[in-house]
Structure 1
């Protein structure tokens, strides 16, 4: 696939009235500072009819007037604090084309070719980048990248829905995003109810001297896409929820299943410990934060088990570990984190444990669930996408869960494993005990 870049330029917010000052800034919150410092890339594919590029561009300019952070830049204020400067320097907007039809296999089976459908993730100053790639068949692929320090998945999806509404001529963005990142005020006196060392934070020396327990980083990692039908998920949920009054969620049940089958496929030692890093949305935990909050508000749960225990016990055992670990990241945990991050991190010289440089997570897993995000509502005026997916990013042990674009209750899972483990995974991924 030969992608031709037709234009690449910076576009800036469009204001209907007098523009706001470009000297203001937004301080990063403790949740922004603890997350991954990297760009995330997502792809959308649209069938004919598709709106003209100008419609999408103009809608983006208008949406940026309410989401000014994207058009700003990361930096430090005169006190040395990390901030987002609201200087309206703009976002990268790329127009591209391909002199052939869109090969569906490229989107259905993740490959390095996906990297040409969005701007580069390396050495990026802009906090948001958009690429429109048009194919000779009329298909349109919208690839965009967002700096994770600026916003988490909930905030990004709200922005995308707003962008689509503006393109469809639905007037003002409602509800408006909440931009105040100073609302996370530590308690006086602070209460460190939980130990956040070794969870969200670690010492610089430990981070620098960390040696991965798994040393096969030179093996080939591949992304395997697997589809779980609504009927299979219902059966999985019923099995996971045996002998309990309130059934586990579809997410908990599917993740418990994947944890067990991936552990089997890896062939791990029975006494080895395996855990999962699960994102927990603080908007549903902190009572004082509105759903429209724009920024990062995520911490993580880490269900853990010995391999023998995980595999010898039936599915409900793993589901309960996941359910309980997520439930424990509650309002008290979030408040303890705010106190700790405000008072102890700088004092003790701690750094976040979120590490974007790892290529191998074995024996552990990291799950990114997009099941509740309304990404499929990114409608520029001619209907929603027929497909959306993450770009091509290799990290063994990473899992992406996405709802099927068919909206039939099925789920697509993108599983990253060493190539020599994939065939075993394929053989057992639909096996129920």
Structure 2
């Protein structure tokens, strides 16, 4: 798949006819990072969306992007510090990067390459050495399909925050009002302002969101969708497709022996199954500990005050279900599902506020703690990390040519073994896709077990 880049330019906010209702934000110099922003991944996130023709020309997309940046100035800014030396987004209006490219093929003939190989890398901007917090590549295929590849820095926003910006760009392109209206205040939203709500650290956050500072880095050389590590092993990505019928049967098995009074979500079932399949493929010893990290969206959990729908920052923490390889593989699927369900439920409003209080207490600075969300550190090969994209309302992303007919998440700077994306399938069968990166030596074993509904083999080592 040959991609030709024709232009690359900086797009700055256009305030000519902006209706920014947040006067304080419009005149601000910086946006201080919140406690949630600070523990988020210090990396870029990649998304690729494909749209059917006829698509808007660049002469429409670029001016609409400039107007959207006037409402979302964070994405046109740069990282820096505020007046007190704290990490912040400097609202410099320096601009976002827009790249225009063409593909000399029909999109339909490239889908398999984009799904299973590293060709997807050519459809979003590379961030090496980039200062921009947002980079976009618009690639037009010979059939008229438009592919928008987004490279967005994760410390600016979480997944819903990024999504709101992309939806807003589509709305401006179509000439309709931005909805939801962006909310930029990251300072007062997570501050204890009421005397009857004193700071209370009710949970342990060391080892969950924070860890001791460690020296050195794990060496590795990245090459797109294949990561080559110092010991010569590769991490390769495999797309698993689960049909609606397969997931229904999986849920039935997970809910068995509960008298029909208990049911699990699609994510809980799929995540539990993948956790077991990966653990079996890795051949872990019976007593080895394994855990799965599940991102938990605080927008639906924080109640007092609630997080506005249009909030532009991050409100994500993680649940950490854990067990041993023996327990995970010998016990029924329901066991893993209940572990995940319990830990996700535990990450509630009280837990989020406990995190806010701990992160604001000064303990992080005194103890020299750093975030556990560290993209530069390869996790132990006993763990699994699941990022759920099932809730993305794709129908809302419309640049005047309808919602996307293809979506693919990317990896930065390269896939990490066990870091899994779960999302709605675009095959039209109501199923679910999972992009699973594993070391090549374990991938064959995983492929054999991931579609099986029978319990994992309980061999002698377990």
Give the C-alpha shift of residue 246 in structure 1. Answer: 2.8
Aligned partners of 2:19 and 2:181: how far apart in 1? 19
Aligned partners of 2:99 and 2:279: how far apart in 1? 41
In structure 2, the partner of 1:11 is 11
SS at match of 2:415: coil
1:118-171 per-position Cα deviation (integer Å, ceiling 9, x unaligned): 11122221111110112223222210111100000011112222221221222x
Aligned partners of 1:67 and 1:419: how far apart in 2? 41
Aligned partners of 2:55 and 2:377: how far apart in 1? 39
Give the C-alpha shift of residue 262 in structure 1. Answer: 1.1
In structure 2, the partner of 1:308 is 326
2:337 to 310, 316, 319: 319
1:328-372 per-position Cα deviation (integer Å, ceiling 9, x unaligned): 111111111111101111122211111111345411011111000
1:173 to 178, 184, 190: 178
Q: Does 1:282 align with 2:298?
A: yes
Aligned partners of 1:265 and 1:429: how far apart in 2? 9
SS at match of 1:208: coil
| Distance change (3 Å), C-alpha of 1:216 and 1:425 | farther
In structure 2, the partner of 1:28 is 33
Whether contact under 8 Å (1:361, 1:397) holds in the other structure is no
In structure 2, the partner of 1:198 is 207
Give the C-alpha shift of residue 106 in structure 1. Answer: 5.0
Q: Does 1:260 align with 2:276?
A: yes
| Ranges in structure 2 where 5+ consecutive residues have no aligned partner | 220-228, 455-462
Aligned partners of 2:453 and 2:275: how far apart in 1? 13
- The two structures have a TM-score, normalised by structure 2, of 0.88
Give the C-alpha shift of residue 415 in structure 1. Answer: 0.5
SS at match of 1:316: helix
Give the C-alpha shift of residue 407 in structure 1. Answer: 5.5
Aligned partners of 2:114 and 2:46: how far apart in 1? 16
Whether contact under 8 Å (1:160, 1:375) holds in the other structure is no
| Distance change (3 Å), C-alpha of 1:357 and 1:217 | farther
Give the C-alpha shift of residue 107 in structure 1. Answer: 4.5
May I ask how many residue pairs the two structures share in their alignment?
428
Taking the TM superposition and a 5 Å limit, the aligned residue runs for 1:123-142 are: 123-142=129-148
Whether contact under 8 Å (2:218, 2:378) holds in the other structure is no
Q: Does 1:349 align with 2:364?
A: no
In structure 2, the partner of 1:208 is 215
Q: Does 1:336 align with 2:354?
A: yes
| Distance change (3 Å), C-alpha of 1:113 and 1:169 | same
In structure 1, the partner of 2:444 is 423
Q: CA RMSD in A?
A: 2.1
In structure 1, the partner of 2:117 is 111
In structure 1, the partner of 2:459 is none
* Higher deviation after alignment, 285-294 or 223-232: 285-294
Aligned partners of 1:361 and 1:320: how far apart in 2? 23
| Distance change (3 Å), C-alpha of 1:83 and 1:266 | same
Whether contact under 8 Å (2:217, 2:377) holds in the other structure is no
| Ranges in structure 1 where 5+ consecutive residues have no aligned partner | none
| Distance change (3 Å), C-alpha of 1:262 and 1:397 | same
- The two structures have a TM-score, normalised by structure 1, of 0.93
Aligned partners of 1:66 and 1:407: how far apart in 2? 35
In structure 2, the partner of 1:85 is 90
